[in-house]
Amino acid sequence: MGKDAYTYKGLPGSPGGPLLFVFHGTGGDENQLVSLGRDLAPQATIVSPRGDVSEHGAARFFRRTGEGVYDMADLARATDKMTGFVKAHVGAAKPSAVLGLGYSNGANILASLVFGAPGLFDATVLMHPLIPFEPEVKGSLAGRHILLTAGKRDPICPPNLTARLEAYLRADGADVTVEWHEGGHEVRPNEVEAARRLFAGVAQGV
């Protein structure tokens, strides 16, 4: 499971600079978050994989049997495959920092990568994640920076589950920040600004 395990889009950045992985939401593709990634981390090399599961024609990173009901076996498959993909790119690039950004379904696969390989990312932005299960973190998240963003009226990702995810991550030692807005499942400017601050701080070694 190497660099070509997924169809992906890559944008070069500064040699030896950060490596940013971006993960699209359901129905998106490898183009969805590339421009946002470039805006948030101007010096980074960007890698944007396309989900390898089709749900009625909409690309996703793992299967589900209903809204908020995950096929846990397929999530495990996808997490293992994506971990190999990320590690292959990291090994080739030898970056100064490894960053992750995911929205919705992309945030869910990114969260699963964080649970399964806590040392993989230096900083992650999980925009509107939905983790309806109790994660098993395979190691410590101490020193890892994680931003959760969420809408207080999000019909897809209930605020109580965002708060529960925050508690899980904190309990495992992560440096967690939560950025809320008053709306639903959409991404708003304050989320983008919070992500920019996080990535800039990591790039500067803050």
Which amino acid would we find at residue 33? L
CA–CA distance, 72 with 170 (Å, rounded to integer): 23
- Candidate list 24, 48, 89, 154, residue with the active-site label: 154
Catalytic site includes residue 104: yes
Query: 164, 162, 102, 159: which is closest to 134 by C-alpha?
Result: 164
Rg of the chain over all Cα atoms, to the nearest angstrom: 15
Is 181 an annotated catalytic residue?
A: no
* Spatial separation of the C-alpha atoms in residues 59 and 26, rounded to whole Å: 6
- The single residue of 48, 104, 145, 172 carrying the catalytic annotation is 104
Are the C-beta atoms of residues 101 and 36 closer than 8 Å to each other?
yes
Q: Which one-letter DSSP state was computed for residue 50?
A: P
Is 185 annotated as catalytic?
Answer: yes
Catalytic residue among 29, 74, 96, 185: 185
Active site residues: 104, 154, 185
